């Protein structure tokens, strides 16, 4: 069943007009015809029958869907800006895995450049990826996508448990199972080239504990999938 996030409150029995982009998707892409979709407003989901009336796409709200498909924990993923395709995959997968917030950041070894003149376009594209992924996996919330920040600004996004994934943390380092479950977690993942020693020191001083994800050095995007999956499992 297709899901769409909507921007106005609704009640059972209402007939609403679908926003143009959602109507286009429902009727021109999926070719739905009097079928049921899941509409979500501000965390509450409804079943609705969608149909066309002339040029308009309408939805009749049938009932509330009591299922809430969110993680019990509030998870913030601070993800270094890695190459575009990889970063976009992380946005999609982290959304599917249930995180609440994505904070892109720049550090000294980032190879990707977030060029200022394209910032608005890039943000819109990233936002669309997150919304589409949230709809695809039937979430009740669209993860918050924060504007890119510097590594030194990450302390603004701290939770109850704060971790920095560090491949040189050593065999005796903290592991995810040592610190989880928790009701809120912030996890930081470095770029392709990793963190410099100065950076990991700065992160530790800002309260982010270095954590190992095992003996193998993972690609940054693999580290993100691993972290989000394990956090999801341990914080159920
Ligand atoms: N260039 C570095 C590796 C960077 S891996 C090197 O070759 O030594 C990219 C990011 O993924 C790292 O900054 C870290 O946050 C995370 N990462 C990868 N493997 C990890 C591991 N085994 N434990 C903890 N973090 C890891």
C-beta atoms surrounding 13 within 10 Å: 9
Q: What percent of the chain has pLDDT over 90?
A: 94
Contact in structure between 198 and 155 (CB atoms under 8 Å): no
pLDDT of residue 141: 98
Number of Cβ within 10 Å of residue 225's Cβ equals 17
Q: Residue 23 belongs to what domain range?
A: 3-65
Q: What is the 3-state secondary structure (H, E, C) of 118-150?
A: HHHHHHHHHHHHHHHHHHHCCCCCCCEECCCEE
Q: What is the C-alpha to C-alpha distance for residues 72 and 67, in angstroms, rounded to an integer? A: 13
Does the beta carbon of 218 lie inside 6 Å of ligand 1?
Answer: yes
Query: Do 146 and 229 share a domain, yes or no?
Result: yes
Tell me the pLDDT band of 111, cut-offs 50, 70 and 90. confident
| Distance (Å) from CA 216 to ligand 1 centroid | 9
So what's the pLDDT on residue 114?
67
| More reliable by pLDDT, 116 or 7 | 7
From residue 184, alpha-carbon distances to 80, 98, 121, 158, 220 in Å are 20, 13, 31, 9, 22
| Averaged pLDDT, 113-134 | 89
What is the 220 CA–ligand 1 centroid distance (Å)? 6
CA dist list (Å): 12 to 7, 67, 235: 16, 16, 33
Q: Are residues 61 and 87 in the same domain?
A: no
Verify that 124 and 176 share a domain, yes or no: yes
Q: Of the residues 65, 90, 116, which one is the last residue of a structural domain?
A: 65
Q: Are 98 and 197 members of one domain?
A: yes
Q: Are 88 and 144 in contact (CB under 8 A)?
A: no
182-232 pLDDT, tens per residue?
Answer: 999 999 999 999 999 999 999 999 999 999 999 999 999 999 999 999 999
Q: Is the pLDDT of residue 117 over 80?
A: no
What pLDDT score was predicted for residue 216?
96
User: Do residues 147 and 219 both lie within one domain?
Assistant: yes
User: Are residues 102 and 175 located together in one domain of the fold?
Assistant: yes
Ligand 1 atom having least distance to the Cα of 216: 22
Residue 95 or residue 113, greater confidence: 95
Q: How far apart are CA 142 and CA 226, in angstroms?
A: 21
Domain endpoint, select from 40, 65, 90: 65
Looking at the structure, tell me whether residues 124 and 196 fall in a common domain.
yes
Strand 15-17 to 56-65 pairing: antiparallel
Whether 95 and 61 map to the same domain: the answer is no
Q: What is the pLDDT of residue 169?
A: 93
User: Both 174 and 223 in a single domain?
Assistant: yes
Q: Are residues 41 and 92 in the same domain?
A: no
Least confident window among 53-57, 68-72, 187-191, 193-197:
53-57
Select from 169, 194, 225 the residue to mutate for testing ligand 1; criterion: most ligand atoms less than 8 Å from CB.
194
- Using CA positions, which residue lies closest to atom 4 of ligand 1? 194
Within 8 A by CB and 6+ apart from 62, the residues are 12, 36, 46, 47, 48, 49
- Count of domains forming the chain: 2
Question: 154 and 203 in contact (C-beta within 8 Å)?
Answer: yes
Going from the Cα of 53 to the center of ligand 1, the distance in angstroms, rounded, reads 54
């Amino acid at each position: 069943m297709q899901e769409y996030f909507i921007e106005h409150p609704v009640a059972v029995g209402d007939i609403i007009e679908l926003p143009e982009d959602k109507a286009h998707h429902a009727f021109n892409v999926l070719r739905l015809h009097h079928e049921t979709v899941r509409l979500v407003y501000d965390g509450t989901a409804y079943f609705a029958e969608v149909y066309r009336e002339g040029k308009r796409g309408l939805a009749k709200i049938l009932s509330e869907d009591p299922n809430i498909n969110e993680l019990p924990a509030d998870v913030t993923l601070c993800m270094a800006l890695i190459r575009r395709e990889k970063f976009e995959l992380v946005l999609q997968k982290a959304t599917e895995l249930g995180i609440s917030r994505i904070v892109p950041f720049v550090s000294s070894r980032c190879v990707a450049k977030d060029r200022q003149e394209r910032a608005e376009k890039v943000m819109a594209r990233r936002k669309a990826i997150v919304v589409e992924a949230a709809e695809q996996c039937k979430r009740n919330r669209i993860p918050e996508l924060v504007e890119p920040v510097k590594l030194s600004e990450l302390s603004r996004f701290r939770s109850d448990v704060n971790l920095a994934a560090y491949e040189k943390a050593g065999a005796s380092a903290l592991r995810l199972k040592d610190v989880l479950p928790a009701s809120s977690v912030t996890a930081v993942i470095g770029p392709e080239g990793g963190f410099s020693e100065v950076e990991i020191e700065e992160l530790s001083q800002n309260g982010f504990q270095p954590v190992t994800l095992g003996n193998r050095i993972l690609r940054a995007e693999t580290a993100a999938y691993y972290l989000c999956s394990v956090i999801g499992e341990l914080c159920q």
